């Protein structure tokens, strides 16, 4: 039986991970959970999976959770904040950490888990986006496996099995295109948060859904793939695939292309990461290619969706620029969801912040965190000056 701790247990990935645990109780057990503010769902998880340790966002939420659970001898120890998240990530009983927090907040607890020798099922792409070089070096030094949970990176990982890396020519990263793939630039300027949150294929959290609509999510995945598979960014190509059936492909030097296909269901890549190198008989809709009828692919339009272009630029220049890209995007997306800026303002704020950043010297964790903090402050100032365009 494999013991798991989960960062982000009330989000989409966390809920699907717990569904896998529910389906295979003889294979997995939960020893620690971390969430933000969703006390009602977290309380349900605690009662069902009986973790020893739970962490939440801050002291106020922790006190609310204690009061909600009452005086029970089986209640978990409750901690909070960055230190609490690190405790969940490094709890001695856990063999694997499911890193599923959203945003840069997942970096430090994931690094702590690596230093503690935990294998990582990685759904928090920002960990590799902003500090991929450092994370992969530390994982290699500690003998830690980093197994991808994102459907695209899981597909690449599966398509590479049994082949020599020297034979790899390109990674072909697929993207649904989001809800606005067929919209013109003028229509994009009028997009509302409600419309942007309606993804055609996947059920995801609010921030990731907006990233999908801007294609920033795919840009972040390009950077993640660069580090996860040690492939230069110029050998990673994005293919828009609206059906979301081919989850990604790898092209080899002999012209062969190997793909992983399946219905858009996150339980499939999650189960593969948890059970690797085995596969589990997950309860998931079967793919019927006769009913599917067609699979289509299109090149991305980087003029209409500049966030993807900006991500490639950050990946190519590297250093602390990916951290700036990610931080600026997090602030801009939050401002959009709050109704403070327009959809078109998101890439404007990111690009302006990137242009004002000056990377310096050798890359260190301290410089990454400094760049992250600077970019958040800078983008916040820029956002305050924008007005929503009609």
pLDDT at residue 53 tops 50: yes
Q: What is the per-residue burial (b if ≥16 Cβ within 10 Å, else e) of 180-203? A: bbebeeeebeebebeebbebebbe
Q: Is the pLDDT of residue 390 over 50?
A: no
What pLDDT is recorded for position 283? 92
CA–CA distances in Å: residue 141 to residues 17, 133, 145? 28, 12, 11
pLDDT attached to residue 389: 45
Express each pLDDT in 170-229 by its tens digit. Answer: 999 999 998 888 888 778 878 888 888 886 666 667 888 899 999 999 999 999 999 999
Q: What pLDDT, on a 0 to 100 scale, did the predictor assign at position 47?
A: 94
Task: Give tens-digit pLDDT for 346-383.
Answer: 999 999 999 999 987 789 999 999 999 999 999 999 99
**Per-residue pLDDT tens digits for 252-264:** 999 999 999 999 9
With a cut of 50, say whether residue 265 has pLDDT above it. Answer: yes
pLDDT value, residue 180: 86
Average pLDDT, the chain: 94
Region 2-149: CATH code: 3.40.50.720
Q: Which pTM was predicted?
A: 0.92
Could you tell me what percent of the chain has a pLDDT over 70?
97
Tell me what pLDDT residue 249 has: 98
pLDDT of residue 208: 86
DSSP string of 190-204, one letter each residue: T--HHHHT--SS---
Predicted pLDDT at 132: 96
Name the 3-class secondary structure at 79: strand
Task: Kindly list the domain boundaries of the chain, sorted by start residue.
Answer: 2-149, 151-264+299-316, 318-390
Cβ distance 249 to 163 under 8 Å?
Answer: no
Quickly name the fold that domain 318-390 has. Rna Polymerase Sigma Factor; Chain: A (1.10.1740)
22 pLDDT higher than 80: yes
């Amino acid at each position: 039986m494999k013991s798991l701790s989960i960062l982000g247990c009330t989000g989409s990935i966390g809920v699907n991970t717990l569904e896998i645990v529910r389906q295979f109780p003889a294979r997995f057990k939960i020893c620690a959970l971390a969430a933000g503010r969703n006390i009602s769902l977290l309380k349900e998880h605690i009662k069902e999976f009986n973790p020893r340790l739970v962490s939440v966002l801050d002291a106020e939420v922790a006190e609310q959770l204690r009061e909600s659970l009452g005086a029970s001898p089986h209640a978990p120890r409750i901690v909070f904040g960055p230190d609490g998240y690190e405790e969940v990530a490094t709890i001695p009983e856990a063999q694997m950490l499911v890193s599923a927090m959203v945003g840069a907040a997942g970096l430090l607890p994931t690094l702590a888990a690596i230093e503690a020798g935990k294998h990582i099922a990685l759904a928090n792409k920002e960990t590799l986006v902003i500090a991929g070089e450092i994370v992969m070096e530390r994982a290699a030094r500690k003998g830690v496996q980093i197994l991808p949970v994102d459907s695209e990176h899981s597909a690449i990982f599966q398509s590479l099995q049994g082949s020599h890396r020297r034979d790899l020519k390109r990674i072909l990263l697929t993207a649904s295109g989001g809800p606005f793939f067929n919209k013109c630039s003028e229509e994009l300027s009028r997009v509302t948060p409600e419309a942007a949150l309606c993804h055609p294929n996947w059920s995801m959290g609010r921030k990731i859904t907006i990233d999908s609509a801007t294609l920033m999510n795919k840009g972040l995945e390009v950077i993640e793939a660069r580090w996860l598979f040690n492939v230069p960014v110029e050998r990673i190509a994005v293919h828009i695939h609206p059906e979301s059936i081919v989850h990604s492909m790898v092209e080899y030097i002999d012209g062969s292309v190997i793909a992983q296909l399946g219905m858009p269901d996150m339980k499939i890549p999650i189960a593969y990461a948890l059970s690797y190198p085995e596969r589990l008989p997950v309860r998931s809709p079967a793919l019927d290619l006769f009913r599917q009828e067609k699979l289509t692919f299109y090149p991305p339009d980087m003029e209409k969706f500049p966030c993807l272009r900006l991500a490639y630029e950050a990946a190519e220049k590297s250093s602390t620029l990916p951290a700036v890209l990610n931080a600026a995007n997090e602030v801009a997306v939050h401002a959009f969801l709050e109704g403070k800026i327009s959809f078109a303002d998101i890439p404007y704020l990111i690009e302006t912040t990137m242009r004002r950043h000056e990377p310096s010297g050798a890359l260190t964790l301290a410089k990454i965190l400094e760049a992250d903090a600077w970019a958040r402050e800078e983008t916040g100032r820029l956002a305050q000056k924008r007005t929503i365009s009609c």
